[in-house]
Amino acid sequence: MDIAKIKSMIEDDKIEYIKIGAPDIEGVFRGKRVAAKHFLNSLEDGFAQCDVLFGWDIAENVLPNLKVSNWERGFADIVMKPDLSTFAMVPWDEKVASCICDLWTEHGEPVAVSPRYVMNNVMERARSMGYEPLAASELEFRFFRENMVSLREKDFGPNLTPLNPGMNCYAISQASADNHVLGRIASMMRGHGVEIEGYNREHGPGMYEMNIRYANVLSACDYTMLFKTGVKEICHQLGLTASFMAKWNDQEDGSSGHSHMSLWDRNKEHNVFWEEGAEGHMSTTMRQFLAGVLDKLPELMALYAPVINSYKRYVEGTWAPLNTTWGMDNRTCSIRIINNGRSAIRIENRVPGADANFYLVFAATLASGLYGIEHNLEVPEKLDGNAYDEAT
């Protein structure tokens, strides 16, 4: 949104507060709310934020021996500078907008460990090679009839009460029954600038999947973070809790965070993964990209599966991959090739869970794919059949 429109909305009293922040290492949107007029006055200099964003774990326990953020440095400030292209109204909050920020040190240098900075660097590298990476996430998550008090009383355990019992995967009737939640989320997200292409009931109690429309890869990361944040906030208003935890209950399937990606020319006129006469219509560029993703997959598991719970999702027969395999439209493989025509051929990385930081997920996928192109890697033989047989 341009600054003139933002100023006009503030002057017309349509905005009172603006949520400003950035993703932390876990992908959580952290920052503060600032008064609208203060936002305008501080745009050039930015807003102070404690660097502990990069100094603690997901439970907010300070990590020892870090150089970027520590007790010895006194947990100094970093500077949040709003990216006005991300400015959007928050439809579920009255007179509230949000804006994602880029992070800088007090000496005017970018914060190198900022996930958004990392993702932007990889995107610019792809652009320097003549590619425009497009991406989208599809997230599985669960709704519980719980609030923050009841969650703690139940110790966040397997006895939480889901929004609805049973499986009902893909059941239209169940999704319709829950439309007071899902429909509201989809509508509110659209007003927030995050387009939901569709959603469906998933394979587990209270479990749903929502598909975010594709965009340039940095925007895809922004949309994913805003979506996860917004879903949680909307659910709080409805007296519910939403969880993107990878494995809530060892008796149920985990929540995946499938990430889709393709490379286009810089004008976004041609999907370079497509080749008319090639096997499976997979171009040489696509095959090299795929080879790089597979080659670096084991090394990048810390980004695809960032916490202990992430690994509990990898269980045979639960729709989570167990090995570095790829296949054509094969949901048992780590990388599924989806060929829906020249404009929609893409890779689907099925390794990440919904708990992952998608700035780092997409950065890892793109960087490893570019590595494959740069080193002319050969893709291994595709898997026909059940990849779980290969794993065991």
Going by pLDDT thresholds of 50, 70 and 90, the confidence category of residue 392 is very low
* Beta-strand pair 207-212/196-201: antiparallel
Residue 73: the pLDDT is 83
pLDDT surpassing 60 at residue 300: yes
Q: Quickly tell me which residue has 């659209």 as its tokens.
A: 190
SS (H, E, C) 133-175: EEEEEEEEEEEECCCHHHHHHCCCCCCCCECCCCCCCCCHHHH
Rounded to whole angstroms, how far apart are CA atoms 135 and 158?
A: 34
Token readout for 258 is: 């499938």
Torsion of CA 17, 22, 25, 29, to 10 degrees: 30
Residue 340: the pLDDT is 92
Residue 74: the pLDDT is 86
Residue 391: the pLDDT is 56
| pLDDT digits 0-9 by tens, 54-67 | 999 888 999 998 98
Angle at 50 between CA 2 and CA 225, to 5 degrees: 50
| pLDDT digits 0-9 by tens, 306-339 | 999 999 999 999 999 999 999 999 999 999 999 9
Angle at 170 between CA 198 and CA 139, to 5 degrees: 50
pLDDT, average across residues 189-195: 98
Going by pLDDT thresholds of 50, 70 and 90, the confidence category of residue 383 is very high
Using a cut of 0.85, tell me whether the model's pTM lies above it: yes
pLDDT surpassing 70 at residue 209: yes
Q: Tell me which H or E stretch contains 346.
A: strand 346-349
| pLDDT digits 0-9 by tens, 104-119 | 998 999 999 999 999 9
Residue 157: the pLDDT is 85
**Number of neighbouring beta carbons within 10 Å of residue 357:** 26
Residue 97: the pLDDT is 99
* Burial profile 61-74: b = 16 or more Cβ within 10 angstroms, e = fewer: eeeeebebbbeeee
Q: Of how many residues is the chain composed?
A: 392
Phi/psi of residue 68, each to 5°?
A: -75, -25
pLDDT, average across residues 287-293: 99
pLDDT, average across residues 121-137: 99
Q: Is 150 left (phi over 0), alpha (psi -120 to 50) or beta?
A: alpha
| For the chain, percent of residues with pLDDT exceeding 90 | 92
Domains of the chain and any CATH numbers: 3-112 (3.10.20.70), 124-391 (3.30.590.10)
